[in-house]
């Protein structure tokens, strides 16, 4: 079966030509403004943020893929980014995304971290933050996702993860790092600027949505 989209029409055609069906689905295209930001690690002093003793940053291990996916889903499922990238709004989509990122030739384990809140005396053990990074063929670095679950925002977890990742890039010989962020995410933009990122380009991501 062949599926072709032409404007607002979806055409379904059986390869042997015995069936031809035209389905009309009105489509709405929305454009989301996103910022591409960069940090030059040769010009930026990378500090380390010490979280309180109830938090720990765990290095990448394949056994933690499920935990990364779960944190990613809980971080993005009710956020605007899940409308732009639907895989972020579903656990299966986040699993597939983590498998895809970790299987890339440029995947950097030293840039991929998982935050955990561990207070055994209170019966608390919860994964609450994730970050991943890859090295592009050009030699630059790319932060894939920074996800902090809602209950742990504003507690320094995101800052600690980003700084830890930047150290990982630097030690891997990557000195220029990029990320993208939705323009409406003012809190994230402030965080990225605070740790040394600056706006280098404005992008527009188109999202096509069917409506009735």
pLDDT in tens, 127-178: 999 999 999 999 999 999 999 999 999 999 999 999 999 999 999 999 999 9
DSSP states along 158-190: HHHHHHHHHHHHHHTT--EEEEEEETT-HHHHH
| Of 1-10, 19-28, 60-69, 144-153, the least confident | 1-10
Q: What is the mean pLDDT of residues 26-43?
A: 88
For residue 46, what pLDDT is reported? 87
20 pLDDT above the threshold of 90: no
**Looking at the domain 32-206, which fold is it?**
Aminopeptidase (3.40.630)
Instruction: Give CA–CA dist 102/87, Å, rounded.
Output: 16
Cβ atoms of 209 and 28 within 8 Å: the answer is yes
Radius of gyration of the chain (CA): 20
What pTM was computed for the model?
0.83
Cβ atoms of 188 and 80 within 8 Å: the answer is no
3-state DSSP percent of the chain in helix, strand and coil, to 5 = 30, 40, 30
For residue 162, what pLDDT is reported? 96
Cβ neighbours of 93 (radius 10 Å): 19
Give domain limits for the chain: 32-206
For residue 123, what pLDDT is reported? 83
pLDDT in tens, 106-124: 999 999 999 999 988 888 8
pLDDT in tens, 175-193: 999 999 999 999 999 999 9
What band does 49 get if pLDDT is binned at 50, 70 and 90? confident
């Amino acid at each position: 079966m062949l599926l072709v989209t032409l404007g607002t029409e979806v055409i379904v055609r059986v390869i042997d030509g015995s069936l031809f069906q035209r389905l009309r689905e009105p489509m709405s295209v929305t454009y989301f403004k996103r910022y591409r930001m960069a940090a030059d690690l040769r010009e930026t002093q990378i500090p380390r943020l010490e979280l309180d003793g109830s938090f720990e940053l765990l290095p990448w291990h394949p056994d933690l893929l499920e935990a990364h996916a779960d944190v990613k889903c809980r971080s993005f499922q009710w956020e605007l980014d899940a409308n732009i990238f639907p895989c972020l709004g579903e656990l299966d989509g986040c699993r597939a995304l983590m498998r895809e990122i970790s299987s890339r030739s440029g995947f950097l384990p030293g840039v991929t971290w998982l935050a955990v809140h561990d207070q055994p005396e209170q019966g608390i053990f919860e994964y609450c933050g994730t970050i991943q990074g890859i090295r592009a063929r050009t030699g630059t670095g790319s932060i894939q996702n920074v996800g902090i679950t809602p209950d742990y925002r504003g507690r320094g977890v995101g800052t600690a993860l980003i700084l830890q990742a930047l150290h990982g890039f630097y030690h891997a010989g990557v000195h220029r790092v990029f990320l993208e962020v939705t323009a409406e995410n003012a809190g994230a933009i402030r965080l990225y600027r605070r740790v040394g990122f600056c706006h280098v380009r404005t992008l527009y991501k188109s999202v096509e949505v069917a409506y009735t």
